[in-house]
Chains A and B, each alone.
Chain A
Amino acid sequence: MTALAVDGLTVRFGRKLIVDNLDFKTNSGKVVGVLGPNGAGKSTLLKAILKLVPSSGSVKLHNRSIHNYTAPELARAIAYLPQDRDIAWPMTVAAVVALGRLPYQGLMSSLTDEDNAAVEGAMAALGVADLKTRRISELSGGERARVLMARALAQNAPVLIADEPTAGLDPAHQISLLSLFRNLAGQGLLIVLTLHELHFAAQWCDHLILLQQGRLVANGQPSKVLTADRIRSVYNCNVRIIEDADGPIIVPISETNIRSNNSG
């Protein structure tokens, strides 16, 4: 079933076109990577899907336009993990993760058993259950990033939109986050994420969307999208592609000998 269908999506900031007439669709149970150089419009595309910026064209979530969802309905349908990891107040980890349950709560009601189960489950999935009574201000950058991911997961939405979730994590935590995304996709969720690591995109995503200056350059399976020529033209960068059992390993390389100045 089509979980997300984007049709003629266009976003303008003033006169500047940020997202230019994009079309793509994807089913549930997938990990979809949105790629492109800095300023290609990746974050803005995510925000347009989330109704955070005004856009023209259509975005349909489970065959229903996002404009036909009420705010709480949309909040239960789609969760967002932004790039910005700012948390205004030094709340406890458990309290931050519990913010993910706000779409299920009334003005006065407190956390139900179901809410608590979702919060505990999300903290366990991200390995932050041990930190739950700690203040967010005492955590390292990586711990903070995982707490915020747990917050988005606690929202229990069938679609998760994550803006550069792997940025600033150490390799072990990058891999465990990507494995979590694969697990969630296995349970039927749709994960849409932006990322800059081409090797992660090639190995962990089911479907890639490559953007350049707001336009769709390629859309499809990683092996079809990430060719050396296309990467060179879009990213203005040479890569070496090494075939591996889980998919190609794509490494950016320099055109000149890196240590030529020091040699001799």
Chain B
Amino acid sequence: MARVVLILTLAAAVVCGFLGSLVVGPAALTWKTSLFAVLGGDNEAARIIIQEIRLPRALLGVMIGATLGLSGAALQGYLRNPLADPGVLGISSTAALGAVLAIFTGASAAWSFALPSAAILGAGVAVVLLRVLAGKNAGTLTLILAGVAISSLAGALTTLTLNLSSNPFAALEIVFWMLGSLTDRSMLHVWLAAPFMIVGWICLFASARTLDAMTLGADVAQTLGTDLRRAQALIVGGTAVAVGAATAIAGAIGFVGLVVPHLLRPLVGAQPSHLLPASALGGAVLVLAADIAVRVIEPSRDIKLGVLTALVGAPFFLWLVLKTRREAL
């Protein structure tokens, strides 16, 4: 019962955030005009602003937030570790590397699906590398170190690519894109990312029972009849596809997948399967709120969404590391 209330509350918050995202922006439109313009309306300028600028931004906020929250919760459950997150583990940075390579080789100009595909491939490589580097029953430290190594390597390769770029303006554009933002995205981006994300979400939700069983360790999970290989494929594949698509569209938005599951875990009785839907909604709320915040704090300058989430998320991560260490002692 408490869980239903929580889910409904979070869903209501997503709706509020979504409407808020439509209403807030540099063009001075009243909230009435904004909301009417979604459905068409007779104010042509408002209709264009809302339908072509703010609506895709709000939709991507929901989709990307849900992806990050959901994949964070699934990774934490699967790796049995509260510090797991697509950003911390280097999955976002390898996805970004894939995307950058697609842009620089010209593949993304030739075929629009090349960008998300390359990002997804990059994310997949990171998850596989993590498993290989950190082993099956990795401790927190090994896992984080493996994530740091993967992140640094991907970062270095991305920098190298930018370094070798002959066009400084293109390089600058890529740098800004990598900071993570939902500004100036169109409905095309929504349609490009949606199929990948939906497939990713389905994979991650399908692993819910296995995540519960994993609470007692891999051996017991297996004796409870769960197929760990299938679960691994679902979680690795689902995370790579969804986070890859999110990164391809919005760049790296860190720490959402870390913060959201952690805050919501006590409210769902810590059960991994119950955390999945709550984290997806919570992630959407957080990204929508952060994206509204960057518009409200400095409307004249384009503060990047990824910068804001990192400013809030990194100290939170440090606190979490300290807390985990204290509990382990």
Contact = CB atoms under 8 A, between A and B. Distances in A.
Interface string A40-71: 00000001001110000000000000000001
B271 A75 contact: no
Contact of A99 (B80, B208, B224): B224
B206 interface: yes
Contacts of A105: 209
B212 A52 contact: no
B223 A52 contact: yes
B164 to A, nearest CB: 44
Interface of B: 77, 80, 206, 208-209, 212-217, 219-220, 222-227, 265, 269-272
A90 B217 contact: no
A74 B216 CA distance: 18
Nearest to A70: B225
Per CB-CB distance, the 5 closest pairs between chain A and chain B, nearest first, are A75-B225, A72-B225, A88-B80, A89-B270, A80-B223
B225 A79 contact: no
Nearest to A133: B269
23 contacts: A52-B219, A52-B223, A73-B225, A74-B223, A79-B223, A80-B219, A80-B220, A80-B223, A82-B219, A84-B219, A87-B216, A88-B80, A89-B215, A89-B270, A92-B269, A95-B269, A95-B270, A103-B224, A103-B225, A105-B209, A107-B208, A107-B209, A135-B270
Contacts of A50: 219, 222-223
Most buried by B among A47, A71, A148: A71
Contacts of A86: 216-217
Contacts of B213: 99, 102
Nearest to A75: B225
Contacts, number: 78
A102 B216 contact: no
Given A52-B223, A91-B271, A102-B213, 11 more contacts: A50-B219, A50-B222, A50-B223, A78-B223, A86-B216, A88-B214, A89-B265, A89-B272, A95-B271, A105-B209, A151-B216
A155 B265 CA distance: 26
A102 B270 contact: no
Given A50-B223, A80-B220, A89-B272, A102 B212 contact: yes
A96 interface: yes
A51 B265 CA distance: 33
B244 to A, nearest CB: 25
A102 B220 CA distance: 11
Q: Is the interface of A mostly helix, strand, loop or mixed?
A: mixed
A215 interface: no
Contact of B206 (A78, A92, A107): A107
A75 B269 contact: no
A71 B209 CA distance: 14
Contacts of B215: 87-89, 91, 96, 99
Interface of A: 47, 50-52, 71-76, 78-80, 82, 84, 86-92, 95-96, 99-100, 102-103, 105, 107, 135, 148, 151, 155
B226 A71 contact: yes
A74 B222 CA distance: 10
A93 B101 CA distance: 49
Contact of B269 (A73, A91, A100): A91
A82 B269 contact: no
A47 B214 CA distance: 17
B58 to A, nearest CB: 30
A67 to B, nearest CB: 14
Contacts of A51: 222
Given A89-B270, A102-B212, A76 B217 contact: no
A240 B210 CA distance: 48
Contacts of A89: 215, 265, 270-272
Contact of B226 (A47, A73, A79, A102): A102
Contact of A52 (B222, B225, B270, B272): B222
A118 to B, nearest CB: 14
Contacts of A52: 219, 222-223
B79 to A, nearest CB: 9
Most buried by A among B214, B219, B226: B219
A156 to B, nearest CB: 12
B84 to A, nearest CB: 11
Contacts of A71: 222, 225-227
Nearest to A74: B225
Nearest to B275: A89
Nearest to A135: B270
A87 B224 CA distance: 15
Nearest to B81: A88
Contacts of A82: 217, 219-220
Contacts of A96: 215-216
